[in-house]
Amino acid sequence: MYKNFTRSAFALLLLFVLAACGASSSPYTDTAVFETSPTEEQAPETHHPESAPTPTPVTNPIVTPTPTTTPEPPQFVGEITMEAVTLAAGGTHTLAITQDGALWAWGSTTIDSHSPVRVKDNAIAVSASNGHSMVITQDGALWAWGNNSAGALGDGTTINQYSPLHIMDNVNAVWAANSLTGASTMAITQDGVLWAWGDNDGQLGDGTRENRHSPVRIMSNVAAVSTSGIHTMAITQDGVLWAWGANLMGQLGNGTTTRSNSPTRIMDNVIAVSAGGSHSLAITNDGRLWAWGWNMFGQLGDGTSTDRHSPIHIMDDVIAISSGTAHTMAITQDGILWAWGANTGQGYGGQLGDGTWENQHSPTRIMDNAVAVSTSHSVNFGNTIAATQDGVLWAWGDNSFGQLGDGTTDRRQYPTRIMDNIMLP
């Protein structure tokens, strides 16, 4: 399906193959792994992040040049938030919600189209993996469709679905992801309970490595979650960050490379988190961005290609993040979108949007007035979509399946305007 990998992409493929599928479980399990938030006795001591020099940003020629200085550390205390919820880059397809609540899809999905197609109304949040899609409607109902080989839809079967299927009610947030062995889904209900299902090599967090075809209760008091398909990060309502799943590259951030099949406490005062392919990002309540895990392509943004097993400080004044397989995007408080990490692939590069095919090891300025961003998890390193303050959706990177939505299959090195009136966070 894909073209021959380069040496770098092959290294990524080899890494993801380490994830293994488990056996399926019985339908809808309501047995809690943690009836309340995990306690200090249930997890290792909190790991204190190390500090590193803030990298010097590189100005991108596609934005209007404006004087920039290294931002002063902010004093604000932000609320805990999820990654972009009204747009989702799924790797081979893309989802976006417009201001009227209409959900649009394009790329290689159950509807193969190189331009946006309307698929559902009354949508308020979306998430997508390479092969399946999830949407929450205004009434709190969760709907799913697409590939279901690992039970990632959560309907108790492994039968693919070609139109939205109702899964559960009273849902506040959802996150879908995939690895080479299968896809998985995480959802937070209105009572703060985190549920998980699908492929499971420890990333579901239920203490096993068995696939689940229906939602399984994981922990309580959860405010935000992000999963890469092989590891998962969650923030509880007290701002504590927890991690579990694969840890070969140190992506859990607990100072080791030992996997964990249940939540492990990582750090405090966290308001946003993003799980990349095998790296992780978090924003603390002072606006500082921290990164750890795999760094082969500079996706941590510390100016090196050295893996980190504990959080390291990258930059300040950050309000939103999204991490793909091997690249990272961040929005600072002034609305500037920054990118770093992998920007190449076997004919699939350009996901940074800086007009080059070169990897970047430090934050590179991409565009202004950004309010939301989403990156895909793809073995070919994927694509990126972003929304600006005027409600315009932009896309760039791999476009082999028409996932950029510009009516072509041409990859893009720069942000390309796709559609207007996007629902903003």
CB 78 within 8 A of CB 285: yes
pLDDT at residue 64 is higher than 50 = no
Mean pLDDT of 238-254: 98
Mean pLDDT of 256-265: 97
Which residue matches tokens 């979306």? 126
What value does the mean pLDDT of the chain take?
84
69 confidence band (pLDDT: 50, 70, 90)? very low
Output the pLDDT for position 183.
94
pLDDT at residue 68 is higher than 70 = no
Domain 7-22+31-419, classified CATH 2.130.10.30, yes or no: yes
Output the pLDDT for position 59.
34
380 confidence band (pLDDT: 50, 70, 90)? low
Domain borders along the chain are: 7-22+31-419
Mean pLDDT of 384-408: 96
pLDDT, greater one: 33 or 362: 362
User: DSSP secondary-structure letter at 202?
Assistant: S
pLDDT cut 70: percent of the chain above it: 80
Output the pLDDT for position 101.
97
Put residue 16 in one of left, alpha, beta given phi > 0 → left and psi -120 to 50 → alpha: alpha
Question: Which tens digits make up the pLDDT trace of 96-110?
Answer: 999 999 999 999 876
